Amino acid sequence: MVRAGEISPTELVGQSLERIDRLDPELNAFRKVFAEKAMLEAERAEARRSAGDTRPLLGVPIAIKDEIDVAGEVNMHGTDAFEEPAKVDSEVVRRLREAGAIIVGLTLLPELAICGFTESATYGVTRNPWNPQRTPGGSSGGSASAVAAGMVPIASAGDGAGSIRIPAACCGLFGLKATRGRVSLAPQLEGWRGMTVEGCLSRSVLDSALWLDVVSGGSKEAEAPAPPEYPFAEAVKRSPGKLKVGYSTLAPRAIAPPNVSEEVKQTTIEAADFLATLGHEVSPRDPDWGRIGDTITARYLKGVAETVAEVPLPERLERRTRGFGRLGSLLPESLYEKAMANRPAEIARINAIFDQVDVLVMPVMGGTALPVRRWQGRGALHTVLGMSRFYPYCVPWNHLGNPAMSIPFGLGADGMPLAIQIVGRKESELQLLSLAAQIEAERPWADLRPPIS
């Protein structure tokens, strides 16, 4: 719209700021809003557009999850435990600015991005636009709430154990966790011992593909993939062809047995049937999970413990957050190393399913978005047990490194969004995006919006 002259950057940013001003007091998606600065940048973008600038995100208002560096801002990570402003932009922010995007604000997350809900003692409860008594998920809940409510068209998100896909599922959005190392985490080398991937939340597949084109590359991680054969945005315009599709509702067992509703299981089966109507070859296929839950638990807790240990003012953290740190620190390093020694065999065993199918369809989580304050006042052990039961489907793919996406798939009996997760082989984002676009064309979800004006 900006490129076509249908709307100016100042109008677009102004509308974004107006919605934030009107809706965010109830939803609490933003930690900080850059109203004056964003309008100045919009004026500059308008001048550049008039001069023929064609950068892909020129004049587009975006939000950044408050876990990656924005120059001059204190990266709070959902806490009150940081004081030092970032000296330079993170690589992701640098690339977004270079593409012409305008940052209108920083979105909220739970402390240190640990939880699958967005609540903290410092910033309060972030709410779901579909129902303010439900969580938008976590850890990228602020970004999900902001996009679902139309405060911004797209926002950054990070995924260390499902934190792109879970908020997408909670809020009726599209969310892709790319292959490990697809997006640089600089100035960090990696996050949560290699489990974290940066990405975005959007209403459309094309928007996420364009974002990935802008931010991908430059990673120094050992498992970083090669660049794609062609732009991700181009994949959205191509047919995926006839694919072999497996589907499963079998969840890996971690600390406790999974808790998955019949509605979620039925939605997965309905999605498989729908893909069959599109001409794909569909069959039930369960991953050979084995004891992957043991490895995941060790890796997750060790990654969290390292994150807690790096906080400059740990006394300001919530009791539960410090408890997460203690859980991880109690885990012997030798046990972690033994668990990680199993990872190559787990990658080979579980990814063997992709010798039989091209993609795997499964749930994102055990139900629709949970009520807010579900685990308020609970300790770390109780919380991690509860989350492991309700969110068992996402974290294996962080551990293994495969790309996976959350796709809206209608509404539940409670009026909240339902979703499916589709997982592919490593480096198969082109195929996943093409399939997601095919589903979106046949079952468009962007016009299905929450009851908030």
What's this model's pTM, rounded to 2 decimal places? 0.97
Residue numbers annotated as active site = 65, 139, 163
The CB density around residue 367, as the number of other CB atoms within 10 Å, is 18
Tokens of 245: 């599709």
Q: What is the pLDDT of residue 401?
A: 95
The alpha carbon torsion through 105, 110, 115, 116 (nearest 10 deg) reads -50
Q: What is the pLDDT of residue 254?
A: 66
Contacts with 142 (C-beta within 8 Å, 6 or more apart), sequence order: 28, 29, 30, 31, 63, 65, 66, 107, 108, 109, 118, 126, 136, 155
Q: Are 376 and 243 in contact (CB under 8 A)?
A: no
Domains along the sequence of the chain with CATH: 9-442 (3.90.1300.10)
Integer angstrom CA distances of residue 106 from 64, 78, 175, 298: 5, 11, 19, 31
Ramachandran category for residue 28: left, alpha or beta (phi over 0 → left; psi -120 to 50 → alpha): left
Integer angstrom CA distances of residue 377 from 32, 373, 380: 26, 8, 10
Q: Which residue has the tokens 């991880």?
A: 328
Contacts with 206 (C-beta within 8 Å, 6 or more apart), sequence order: 233, 236, 437
**Whose CA is closest to 116, among 379, 383, 428?**
383
Cα Rg of the chain, angstroms: 20
- As averages over each run of 10 residues, the pLDDT of the chain (453 residues) reads 93 98 98 98 96 96 98 98 98 98 98 97 98 98 98 97 98 98 94 91 98 96 93 98 98 84 98 98 97 88 92 97 94 85 95 98 98 96 94 96 98 98 98 98 94 85
The distance in angstroms from the start CA to the end CA of the chain is 22
Tokens of 125: 């409860």
Q: Is residue 283 classed as helix, strand or coil in its secondary structure?
A: strand
**Whose CA is closest to 167, among 188, 189, 184, 142?**
142
Tokens of 438: 């095919």
Q: What is the pLDDT of residue 338?
A: 84
Q: Are strands 119-120 and 102-107 parallel, antiparallel or unpaired?
A: unpaired
Q: Which residue has the tokens 């303010």?
A: 132
Integer angstrom CA distances of residue 444 from 22, 204, 411: 28, 9, 13
Q: What is the pLDDT of residue 331?
A: 86
Q: What is the pLDDT of residue 336?
A: 84
Ramachandran category for residue 125: left, alpha or beta (phi over 0 → left; psi -120 to 50 → alpha): beta
**Angle at Cα 129 formed by Cα 126 and Cα 131, nearest 5°?**
95
**Whose CA is closest to 66, among 125, 117, 111?**
111
Spatial distance between the Cα atoms of 292 and 289, rounded to a whole number of angstroms: 6
